[in-house]
Structure 1
Amino acid sequence: MLLDNTAALVTGGASGLGAATAQALAARGAAVFALDLPAGLDKAPDVEGVTYVGADVTDAEQVRAAVATAAGSGAPLRTVVNCAGIGPSMRILGKKGVHDLDLYAKVVQINLIGSFNVLALASEAIAETEPDANGQRGVIVNTASVAAFEGQIGQAAYSSSKGGIVGLTLPAARDLAQYGIRVCAIAPGIVETPMLATVSEEFRASLGAGVPFPRRLARPEEYAQLALSIIDHDYLNGEVIRMDGGLRMAPR
Structure 2
Amino acid sequence: MQLTGTSAVVTGGASGLGAATAAALAAAGAAVVAVDLAQSIEKAPDVEGVTYVEADVTDEAQVRNAVAAASEQAPLRVAVSCAGIGTAGRVLGKGGQGIHDLGLFARIVNVNLVGTFTVLAVAAEAMAATEPLEHGQRGVVVNTASIAAFDGQIGQAAYSASKGGVVGMTLPTARDLAQYGIRVNTIAPGIIDTPMLATVGEEIRAALAKGVPFPQRLGRPDEYAQLVRMIVEHDYLNGETIRMDGSLRMAPR
Q: Helix, strand or coil for the counterpart of 2:62? A: helix
Q: Report the CA distance between 1:188 and its aligned residue.
A: 0.3
Question: Which residue matches 1:70?
Answer: 70
Q: Helix, strand or coil for the counterpart of 1:175? A: helix
Q: Report the CA distance between 1:97 and its aligned residue.
A: 2.5
Q: Helix, strand or coil for the counterpart of 1:93? A: coil
| Bigger shift: residues 173-182 or 129-138 | 129-138
Question: Which residue matches 2:8?
Answer: 8
Question: Which residue matches 1:199?
Answer: 200
Write the mapping of 1:168-183 to structure 2, written as runs, cut at 5 A. 168-183=169-184
Q: Deviations over 1:114-168 (max 9, x none)?
A: 0000000010000000011221100000001000000000000000000000001
Question: Which residue matches 2:230?
Answer: 229
Q: Helix, strand or coil for the counterpart of 1:186? A: strand
Q: Distance in 1 between matches of 2:160 and 2:114?
A: 14
Q: Distance in 2 between matches of 1:234 and 1:133?
A: 10
Q: How many residues are treated as equivalent by the alignment? A: 251
Question: Which residue matches 1:239?
Answer: 240
Question: Which residue matches 1:31?
Answer: 31
Q: Report the CA distance between 1:54 and its aligned residue.
A: 0.2
CA RMSD of aligned residues (A): 0.7
Q: Deviations over 1:182-211 (max 9, x none)?
A: 000000000011221221011011000000
Normalising to structure 1: TM-score of the pair?
0.98
Q: Determine whether 1:91 maps to 2:90.
A: yes
Where do 5+ consecutive residues of structure 2 fail to align?
none
Q: Distance in 2 between matches of 1:182 and 1:99?
A: 36
Amino acid at match of 1:68: A
Write the mapping of 1:33-182 to structure 2, written as runs, cut at 5 A. 33-73=33-73, 75-95=74-94, 97-182=98-183
Amino acid at match of 1:232: E
Q: Distance in 1 between matches of 2:195 and 2:86?
A: 11
Q: Distance in 1 between matches of 2:42 and 2:65?
A: 20
Normalising to structure 2: TM-score of the pair?
0.98
Where do 5+ consecutive residues of structure 1 fail to align?
none
